[in-house]
């Protein structure tokens, strides 16, 4: 009896002290089916763009909950134009200072044969329960998908920037 209890305690202690599954994108990516770590940090700014451990964990969640299942569902490659953005990269591309990309909670995606609006519909249909915002940008040809969900997903359309450089976001039912 006593040794069994001891074994059980040791097992519980090991489980409680086990390190988390990974900390870098490369470690997390062992569990990803359709994406590589570099696709999560791609940037044309030339700036360093290494995610924090917290952002890497959020990116891992996004790949496993949203991007991999979406790719499986639509059957064509899903390309990322921007996922993680360091604060400097985000500034450089004119992102909002509170952009979900900084925390690893969003991806801008494209898929062969899909317009932004048809891809957004596919996101809502296949992984809608896991997403926060789904925003179509026709001028950029991509869809912004976030996975910091705090309620039902929001589907929005962004106009091209106006003369003042600002976009208008329309809610789509």
Residues that bind Zn ion (CB under 5 A): 108, 144
Could you tell me the smallest distance in angstroms from the CB atom of residue 12 to Zn ion? 42
Q: Which helix (H) or strand (E) holds 15?
A: helix 2-17
**Alpha-carbon gap, residue 4 to 139, rounded angstroms:** 65
Burial grade of 149 (CB within 10 A; 0-12, 13-18, 19 or more): middle
Spatial distance between the Cα atoms of 166 and 162, rounded to a whole number of angstroms: 5
Rounded to the nearest whole angstrom, what is the least distance from the CB of residue 54 to Zn ion in the complex? Answer: 19
Q: Which two tokens stand for residue 59?
A: 């990116």
Comparing CB distances to Zn ion, the nearer of 56 and 143 is 143
CB-wise, 15 or 96, nearer to Zn ion?
96
Structural contact between residues 117 and 144, judged by C-beta atoms closer than 8 angstroms: no
CB of 42 vs Zn ion, minimal distance in Å: 13
Buried b (16+ CB within 10 A) or exposed e, 11-45: eeeeeeeeeeebeebeebbeebeebebebbbebee
Which residue, judged by CB position, is nearest to Zn ion in the bound state?
Answer: 144
Q: How far is the CB of 13 from Zn ion (least distance, A)?
A: 42
Smallest distance from Zn ion to CB 155, Å: 14
Nearer to Zn ion by C-beta: 39 or 108? 108
Residue 4 or 139: which CB sits closer to Zn ion? 139
Q: Which is nearer to Zn ion, 23 or 65 (CB)?
A: 65
């Amino acid at each position: 009896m006593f040794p069994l209890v001891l074994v059980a305690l040791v097992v519980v202690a090991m489980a409680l002290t086990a390190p988390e599954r990974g900390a870098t994108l490369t470690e997390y990516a062992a569990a990803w089916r359709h994406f590589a770590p570099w696709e999560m940090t791609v940037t044309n700014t030339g700036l360093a763009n290494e995610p924090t451990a917290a952002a890497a964990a959020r990116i891992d969640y996004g790949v496993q909950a949203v991007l991999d299942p979406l790719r499986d569902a639509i059957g064509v490659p899903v390309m990322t134009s921007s996922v993680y953005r360091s604060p400097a990269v985000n500034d450089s591309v004119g992102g909002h200072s509170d952009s979900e990309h900084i925390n690893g909670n969003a991806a801008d995606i494209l898929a062969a044969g899909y317009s932004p609006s048809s891809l957004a519909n596919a996101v809502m249909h296949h992984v809608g329960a896991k997403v926060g915002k789904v925003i179509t940008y026709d001028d950029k040809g991509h869809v912004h998908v976030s996975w910091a969900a705090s309620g039902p997903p929001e589907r929005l359309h962004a106009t091209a920037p106006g003369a003042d450089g600002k976009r208008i976001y329309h809610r789509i039912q």
